[in-house]
Structure 1
Amino acid sequence: MTYHLVEYLQISEFPENQYCIVLRWIEKNRILPVWIDAADAFELLQHEAGVPTRRPRMVNVLIDLAAATAGGFKEVHIDSYFAGDYIASLVTNNGDELECRPSDAMGVAYLLNLPIMASEDVLSHASVFISEADLETWLGLYLTTDPVESHLEESASGDAAADADFSKLMESMGVSEADLLGSDDNPPKDSKE
């Protein structure tokens, strides 16, 4: 299974006590929303805020247990997605994988600053493109544009991510831009001839 690095951006709150972990597929600049319940969101937000606890949380116990038995954790995987539910795993330094809920995996990843990897299948099925303007408006996220992308030509449709996806689709079918537009040596023939 192929995995890609995703970036944790934030936990967003929506009406009716709905919470979402917002991850970004860096390579494609797409958003992977992972919906969690209010109690898990509250706990993760407390981790982020550095709120001390009187007693260890389950995530702390899990981290201590892994350190004692498996040499600690190496990374987090988001392995599968079906009908709105994700399955994650914590990968130990000795190569074992422990299946867990994504909210628990995110807590460990946050506390240990672990990389978060999502399977290509999950990203293909559950990630979405959201424009930078919509990210700012709806989620309060201000992402800086990749310096490499800022030098690219403007997109034909106004949606660079959609254009890139379309180009890949066409290439996978063996069609190039030159095939569609014709080359200078062989301009497209006029249909009236």
Structure 2
Amino acid sequence: MAAVEVEVVGVRIELPANQPILLLKAVNLPRFLPIWIGAAEANAIGIVQRGLTPPRPLSHHLMLDILEAHGDSLSRVVITGRENHTFLAELRTEAGKTISARPSDAIAMALIADSPVYAAEEVVAENGIDAPAPDEEEVAQFREFLDHVSPEDFEGRS
């Protein structure tokens, strides 16, 4: 299975249903992969992304601790497919083991363990959405602004 590396953009809330969406971005492709997830998993991912450490291990920390207690660690996460409306993922360990997981749980663990996340090319091709092309004129204007701005330009503003 050919896979592309993806980065976790974050969790967004789809309105009006208030449904959390995990947004992944292909590293070398202009494609996003949205995955609808549960509120608890969205919270866990948000905690990790904000760099917060809970006073007691949450489930995702516990699962990584169990792997470590058995002499293994998380190597990578792979979003492997989609069946109906459900995405599928696997945890891949350093010892070569493969463990089926929900993408939201797998990604929370990958973020904690600082492990890479991949998605099967077919998953990205069939379920991804095109990333908007950057507005070159707007980017050029912003660069021009940055070239000529100084901290003093912001003094006295509230």
Sort the TM-score into its range (normalised by shorter chain).
0.7 to 0.9
Seen in structure 2, the aligned counterparts of structure 1 residues 117 and 55 have a Cα distance that, compared at 3 Å, is: same
| Structure 2 partner of 1:175 | none
- Give 1:133 deviation, angstroms: 6.2
Structure 2 residue runs of 5 or longer lacking an equivalent are 136-158
Seen in structure 2, the aligned counterparts of structure 1 residues 28 and 50 have a Cα distance that, compared at 3 Å, is: closer
Aligned amino acid, residue 6 of structure 1: V
Higher RCO (CA 8 Å, separation ≥ 6 residues): 2
Alignment of 1:43-54 (within 5 A): 43-54=44-55
Contact in 1 for aligned 2:10/2:46 (Cα 8 Å): no
SS across alignment from 2:64: helix
Alignment of 1:95-110 (within 5 A): 95-110=96-111
Mapped to 1, the partners of 2:118 and 2:70 lie a distance apart of: 23
CA displacement, residues 50-75 of structure 1 (integer Å, 9 cap, x when unaligned): 33424321111110111122420100
Mapped to 1, the partners of 2:115 and 2:52 lie a distance apart of: 20
More strand by share: 2
Mapped to 2, the partners of 1:38 and 1:62 lie a distance apart of: 19
| Percent of aligned pairs with the same amino acid | 27
Question: Does residue 6 of the first structure (1) align with residue 12 of the second (2)?
Answer: no
Q: TM-score, normalised by structure 1?
A: 0.64
| Structure 2 partner of 1:30 | 31
Paired residues, number? 134
| Structure 2 partner of 1:170 | none
Mapped to 2, the partners of 1:111 and 1:99 lie a distance apart of: 18
